[in-house]
């Protein structure tokens, strides 16, 4: 199963403590976002190499080694950061 989540820096700020009857200043927007994409397997959880597979990967010639040992991908979306989640980024993740 493919799973994606977006979390914002100012999420879950619904309750505030008032001091001397004055409301504190609060951020106006949702804040910077973090986008997490991952693949979940029913039997084992997150798609990742086991410890023995990581050791075996280290014994391969450098050209044949896997670059990543797990399938999760984290980006910081919006312009001036990592851009938006696209099909190209998904293809890169599963490659």
For residue range 58-91, list pLDDT tens digits in order.
999 999 998 888 888 888 887 777 777 778 887 8
Instruction: Determine the average pLDDT of the residues in 34-39.
Output: 88
- DSSP secondary structure string for all residues of 38-83: EEEETTTEE-B--HHHHHHHHHS-GGGS-S-SB--EEE--STTTT-
Beta-carbon contacts of residue 50 (< 8 Å; ≥ 6 apart)? none
Say which residue the tokens 């990592």 belong to.
Answer: 82
Mean predicted lDDT score pLDDT of the chain: 81
Identify the residue with better confidence: 17 or 3. Answer: 3
Residue 49 has pLDDT above 80, yes or no: yes
Radius of gyration of the chain (CA): 20
């Amino acid at each position: 199963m493919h799973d994606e989540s977006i979390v914002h820096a100012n999420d879950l700020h619904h309750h505030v403590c008032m001091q001397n009857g004055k409301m504190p200043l609060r951020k106006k927007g949702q804040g910077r976002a973090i986008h997490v994409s991952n693949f979940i397997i029913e039997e084992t959880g997150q798609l990742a190499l086991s410890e023995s597979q990581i050791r075996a990967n280290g014994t391969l010639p450098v050209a044949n080694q896997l670059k990543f040992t797990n399938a999760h991908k984290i980006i910081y979306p919006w312009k001036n950061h990592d851009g938006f989640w696209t099909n190209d980024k998904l293809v890169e993740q599963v490659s």
